[in-house]
Structure 1
Amino acid sequence: MLKGIDPILNAEVLGTLRAMGHGDDLILCDLNFPAQSVAQRTGLGRLLRIDAPMPRVARAVLSVYPIDSFVDDAAARMERSDAPDQIPDVQREVQAEIDAAEGRSWPMIAIERFAFYERAKQAYAVIQTGERRFWGCVALRKGVLPPEA
């Protein structure tokens, strides 16, 4: 255990988040996502896991991970194939975690399912969560920390 670090953030995940640079993508996905095959094609080259619900994982990650404020697509969600205009509850819950972490509304953009797979293959890393609800997949682009005043 470490003080100030969410206990679900394991050593592998913390090391990966620390190693990522500005502009690198992190994919958080549900149990139905083809995580193993996609993760093999990422910068990290292997799958990371946190066996907890997606909103809980998002909260933990966002406690240490800045989102890129220089681009419009820094927070993205996989669009439902059967109802592109509907936002699933799991994505609404992750949206609330993003907004809380950033201290403002930061709407995720929607990405078509197969385009999301392609973005995921270009990511630095994939964390598969224990989320069983469908469409629980998001991409978060890493931002920067400003210098101390």
Structure 2
Amino acid sequence: MLKGIPPIISPELMKVMMEMGHGDEIVLADGNYPAASHSNRIINGHGHGVADFLRAILEFFPLDTYVTFPVMLMNPVQGDEKNPVIWQTYEDIIKKTSDFPVQIEKIERMDFYERSKAAYAIIATSERAQYANLILKKGVL
């Protein structure tokens, strides 16, 4: 154990965040996400929700200021709720932790899946909210 590191940040997750370089991406995946088939580097986040990870990660993880959208969400498919309630929670967390105005992009479902295959890692959570997946792009200090 170390001082100041939230217990939700496992040694494996801290190692992954430190290994990542500028422009690398990490996926925070809800419980329905096919994480195992989309990455060889999966971090077990079961028992926790995406918002808990987002809050803890952003204490250490700089978002990319060189791109328009350093945060990406999976856009709901036609017929599903257009703006999932959890998105407002994410926006609130990001506003509280960011030093600059962060724009969030909505990516179509299949494009999100393809992009996640190229991500540095996926955190597989137990989040139950639909469309609770998001991608964070790492910036520089």
For Structure 1 versus Structure 2, the TM-score category normalised by the shorter chain is over 0.9
Q: Distance in 1 between matches of 2:128 and 2:66?
A: 32
In structure 2, relative to structure 1, the CA distance for the partners of 1:107 and 1:87 (3 Å cut) is farther
Q: Distance in 1 between matches of 2:140 and 2:79?
A: 34
Deviation string 1:1-25 (CA, Å, 9 cap, x unpaired) is 2111111100110000000000001
Deviation string 1:69-90 (CA, Å, 9 cap, x unpaired) is 0001211100000258822112
CA RMSD across the alignment: 1.5
Q: Secondary structure at the match of 1:27?
A: strand
Number of residue equivalences: 140
Identity %: 35
TM-score when scaled to structure 2? 0.93
Deviation string 1:39-72 (CA, Å, 9 cap, x unpaired) is 1xxxxx2211223111111001111100000001
In structure 2, relative to structure 1, the CA distance for the partners of 1:31 and 1:111 (3 Å cut) is same
Q: Please identify runs of 4+ aligned residues in structure 1 that moved more than 3 A.
A: none
Q: Secondary structure at the match of 1:127?
A: strand
Would you say 1:23 and 2:23 are equivalent positions? yes
Deviation, 1:107, is 2.9
In structure 2, relative to structure 1, the CA distance for the partners of 1:134 and 1:85 (3 Å cut) is closer
Deviation, 1:134, is 0.7
Structure 2: give runs of 5+ residues left out of the alignment.
Answer: none
Would you say 1:71 and 2:50 are equivalent positions? no
Q: Distance in 2 between matches of 1:82 and 1:57?
A: 28
The letter for the 2-side match of 1:7 is P
130-139 or 75-84: which moved more? 75-84
In structure 2, relative to structure 1, the CA distance for the partners of 1:84 and 1:69 (3 Å cut) is farther
